[in-house]
Amino acid sequence: GGFVDVGETVETAVKRELMEEMGVDLQQHQRIKLFGVYSDPRRDNRRHTVSAVFAVHLDADIHPHAADDVKDVQRIPLADIEKHQYFADHK
């Protein structure tokens, strides 16, 4: 996860964050898909934030790795997404 820089679209931020945090360089033709938006003001006691969650298909020959402030990276099939625990209200 990360924040959107001033003047940046959320889609551009997703691509930048994937590169910074997992070393994944999405090509122009790779489509990111909006998975959900989480905006309840009470969802994070630190401050009010809005999360836009995206999904992207990565080919088997792309190997994400933990970089920047990421502790671990796991591939999760979209069909299994509901079986895992995420930040606060990401379900």
Q: How far is 1 from 14, CA to CA, in rounded Å?
A: 8
Structure tokens given for 66: 């933990």
pLDDT attached to residue 29: 63
Confidence (pLDDT) at 28: 67
Q: Which residues, 6+ apart, have CB-to-CB distance to 17 below 8 Å?
A: 1, 2
DSSP state of 30: P
Q: Which residues of the chain have pLDDT under 50?
A: 89-91
Question: Can you give the pLDDT at residue 22?
Answer: 87
Q: Using CA atoms, how far apart are residues 51 and 36, in angstroms rounded to an integer?
A: 8
- Among all chains, which residue has been given the structure tokens 């088997």? 60
